[in-house]
Amino acid sequence: MKTDELIGMLSTGISPVRYSTSLWHFAAAVAATVAGALVLMLAIFGLRPDLSAISTTPLFWGKVAFPLVLAAGAWLITLRLSRPGSRMGLSWLALALPVLVVWIAAALWLNHTQPDNWQVMLLGQSWKTCPFNILLLSVPGFIIIFKTMRTLAPTHLRLAGAASGLLAGSMATVVYCLHCPEMSPAFWGIWYLLGMLLPAGIGALLGQRLLRW
């Protein structure tokens, strides 16, 4: 059999995977990620005692919005990178803009705070543990999202791994907000961000190996 005939036979009846297929796969993965992080958070850390009261304040929802918007951006990028040959393009702006907004809010927050209190605003009560708590809560989602990505066809494996890790980390951070007592944008812009970047970095390192197909 000639090579051209073999290629023609193998390609017969092949149709491209629909974008909606990836969308539904990742929608299910994100739902499972949230559930896994929530179960782990309740088992290890528990809810903050004043959650019902603090959840009525705009500042609390600003705290939740930061990782939630990053998660939305990471989801879009992960979807894009799950298809062969796709690149990020300008999708990185979906990640850069929320970080920039929080950094601006942090600068304004510090500007209206006495310099003697800046250390409290930047370090809070939990800076030593916060990033690692987020990393821990991201473990279920990391596994779930990587397994989902393996069922698709990413070609930029390091980027796909980083985006998958960031998606797991940002959703874990949303859940962690239900426990974390920190209410300073200066804290979120450093330690929440570091907590989300840890699984993203691990994903970039492991993507070349775990997402190869």
> Rounded to the nearest 5 degrees, what angle is found at the Cα of 159, between the Cα atoms of 72 and 185?
45
Q: Is the pLDDT of residue 193 over 90?
A: yes
**For the chain, how many residues are written?**
213
The DSSP H or E segment spanning 21 is: helix 19-44
Please provide the DSSP assignment of 192-204 as one string.
Answer: IHHHHHHHHHHHH
Q: What is the pLDDT of residue 3?
A: 52
Query: What band does 150 get if pLDDT is binned at 50, 70 and 90?
Result: confident
- pLDDT over 90 percentage in the chain: 65
Has residue 88 got a pLDDT over 70? Answer: no
The chain-wide mean pLDDT, for the chain, equals: 87
**Nearest-angstrom CA–CA distance, 54 and 44:** 21
Mean pLDDT of 198-206: 95
CA 151 to chain centre: 19
Lowest mean pLDDT among 83-87, 124-128, 174-178, 181-185: 83-87
Evaluate if pTM is beyond 0.75: yes
| 17 vs 177: CA distance, rounded Å | 36
Pick from 47, 61, 51, 81: nearest CA to 149: 81
pLDDT tens digits along 77-86: 988 888 776 6
Q: Which two tokens stand for residue 55?
A: 């959840």
Report pLDDT for 161: 92
Give the model's pLDDT for residue 124.
Answer: 92
Three-state DSSP class for 7? helix
Q: What pLDDT digit, counting tens, does each position of 34-71 carry?
A: 999 999 999 999 999 999 999 999 999 999 999 999 99
Closest CA to 118 of 184, 194, 177: 184
* Average pLDDT over every residue of 18-43: 84
Does residue 114 sit in helix, strand or coil?
coil
Between 24 and 125, the more confident residue is 125
Q: What is the pLDDT of residue 156?
A: 85
Residue 143 exposed, middle or buried by CB count within 10 Å (0-12, 13-18, 19+) = middle
Under 8 Å between Cβ of 26 and 79: yes
Q: Report the distance separating Cα 91 and Cα 85, nearest Å.
A: 15
Which of 6-15, 21-30, 173-182 shows the lowest mean pLDDT across its residues? 6-15
